[in-house]
Structure 1
């Protein structure tokens, strides 16, 4: 077995999601799967592509027209990449793995926040890199001092950012941009910024990729799983300065050849015609966020108000259990599945992740049961 495989573990998110099937009647708040249907025009475009025989290979980088639409879409956020600087991938996951494989040599160090989406740490380990965690503020926002401390101690040259953040819903604040830029330049960092939730930002959106002077140092990752509720259709992308693209293309080309053709046609129409659907979905998530946050506060949970994505990350430290013990007992006693914070790294211990991309009825019932549970314990 490849020794790097022995360094990683199966996803803690999936571990708890899979438990639900073994508990009849359980409510799952585990996965980041929007409960909205794929927009009608996206579905129609994929069906049309299938019926018209558009099931052959696209170019390795993906459909030109889709890359042009992504370029226009990103420009609306103040992010500038042309079609030659965009590569369509098999979900954001393949984008991440392609970037890690292209950049990171064995033993090289990568700065990763904690808590964070587990694919970051495990993806880096899988390609032979070394993870250097940096701490966040108590509200899970970026702390420049903690980050600089980690850089000085480790000498790492790669930095991973992710805003809005899974599992906490934190965002990058405008006041942090200049200090972050100065840090990147001072320590000659290459930045990987995963912004799969960029369309689901409830406050003003800011990204390090908006700073044109850093373009040579930033690799931007996005995708369509969340924006068009098409997680199973596996479509993402990464953006990189065109002078670097050939090296990234080598990995992507030999790994998957190209992303699924009919999914690409669907996303193309989605960007052109379905952004109102996205705004409606975002407004519903915002309403659900406020409901879940209010219920948790009423139960006296210590919890921060998420500013993006569709997750909330309450503290469970006062219950004197590990996050895994708490979530196991909650599932056993009340048939409600949440994800233990430990699934998101050392910084996640003492918390649990609740995904609020579920129906109002499921959320209300689950929170009623969580309230019963904490009263009993």
Structure 2
């Protein structure tokens, strides 16, 4: 017997991340400075690490409840409620294996075949393949003409132009990867009016919330639309815990009731010692991100100045730790060609804007989650390359 389809056809159509692949490809270049991945160069705070060690020594090695240990779910609700004026109960929190699992669980929970997800671009590409794997379809919305912000007008036009489709959800990522741009409170208020009219879900990825740099505190869309927002967060960026895989998914009770099933059959439960480390981070590490944020601001300001001086046009970065820079005119708009040549000739690795969807071509993403010394060396190499080529 010959199988008609050997593999899931949706999976076959999804490609391996070209961001990760490029990072691997350039790693063999001698003395390369990689400003490629979104990973803090800081270490996890010592008190958080010790909590994990203590949990291991206390034999916290058995299955946790599927959605996470109760004390952690309550701590997460309290933490985000206090910081961002939300109103979640512990029962409305699922502890996930990083923000990535939160995204996967959310989309798997809400999508039926051919449901549509609206994705403003440029954006980190994870949301599109996960939608496709779950038999949904994506419609991208290019925001490059609006300073990389989704406007209520553009959202309304997109909804109207697709009235024949079942638009199930909108993805909103802020502060943004790759642009570093975020939304003001007023912008979110206006956007929420259109979203409320539509009745759609909003997958809000706010993993960079604590790395907002302007004077206004981060505002969560969940404050305005608690019954429609699926809030994704975690400790990877705020507490330098990328490898720990500690994430949280928050939402209305009816959604959480269904999402727990998806989460349970994907991972059973989160890792125990990681949960106790996360509990420590949330209860005694509220200020852990502040020194990191201060360093990022200094790096951002330095790199913006250096890049603009040699002909790059940089999107206003209000958060996260990325610059989205328009390639100097003389190099054209082929971002893949530019980053490959830069890596080869200048030994600096950046990510091409083309990797982030419509509106990204002609740009490069630069992660400044690297030491200031490395950034200074990288900036000098980039300047020399731009001048001499």
TM-score bracket for the superposition, by shorter chain length: over 0.9
Q: Does 1:4 align with 2:15?
A: no
The residue aligned with 1:320 is: 332
Which of 337, 347, 354 pairs up with 2:359? 347
The CA distance in 2 between the partners of 1:317 and 1:143, in whole Å, is 27
CA positional deviation for 1:317: 6.0
The CA distance in 2 between the partners of 1:299 and 1:133, in whole Å, is 32
Which of 202, 219, 232 pairs up with 1:206? 219
The residue aligned with 2:4 is: none
Q: Does 1:152 align with 2:160?
A: yes
Q: Does 1:106 align with 2:113?
A: yes
Whether the aligned pair in 2 keeps the contact of 1:109 and 1:154 (CA below 8 Å) is: no
CA positional deviation for 1:341: 0.7
| Greater Cα shift, 115-124 or 131-140 | 131-140
Question: Tell me, what secondary structure is at the counterpart of 1:276?
Answer: coil
Whether the aligned pair in 2 keeps the contact of 1:189 and 1:217 (CA below 8 Å) is: yes
The CA distance in 2 between the partners of 1:368 and 1:127, in whole Å, is 45
Which of 21, 32, 38 pairs up with 2:44? 38
CA positional deviation for 1:231: 0.7
TM-score (norm 2): 0.94
Question: Tell me, what secondary structure is at the counterpart of 2:100?
Answer: helix
CA positional deviation for 1:20: 2.7
Whether the aligned pair in 2 keeps the contact of 1:135 and 1:146 (CA below 8 Å) is: no
Which of 27, 30, 46 pairs up with 2:33? 27
Which of 82, 85, 90 pairs up with 2:89? 82
Aligned pair count?
375
Structure 1: 4+ residue segments shifted above 4 A: none
The residue aligned with 1:143 is: 151
Q: What pairs up with 1:51-200 in 2 under 5 angstroms?
A: 51-75=57-81, 76-136=83-143, 137-155=145-163, 156-200=167-211
The CA distance in 1 between the partners of 2:73 and 2:262, in whole Å, is 19
CA positional deviation for 1:255: 0.6
Whether the aligned pair in 2 keeps the contact of 1:293 and 1:305 (CA below 8 Å) is: no
CA positional deviation for 1:321: 4.1
Unaligned runs of 5+ in 1: none
Whether the aligned pair in 1 keeps the contact of 2:313 and 2:328 (CA below 8 Å) is: no
Whether the aligned pair in 1 keeps the contact of 2:185 and 2:219 (CA below 8 Å) is: yes
Q: Deviations over 1:194-215 (max 9, x none)?
A: 100001001221221111xx21
Question: Tell me, what secondary structure is at the counterpart of 2:63?
Answer: coil
Q: Deviations over 1:231-288 (max 9, x none)?
A: 1111101001113222111110011011111111001111111222211111111111
Unaligned runs of 5+ in 2: 1-6
The residue aligned with 2:379 is: 367
Whether the aligned pair in 2 keeps the contact of 1:135 and 1:147 (CA below 8 Å) is: no
The CA distance in 1 between the partners of 2:234 and 2:140, in whole Å, is 25
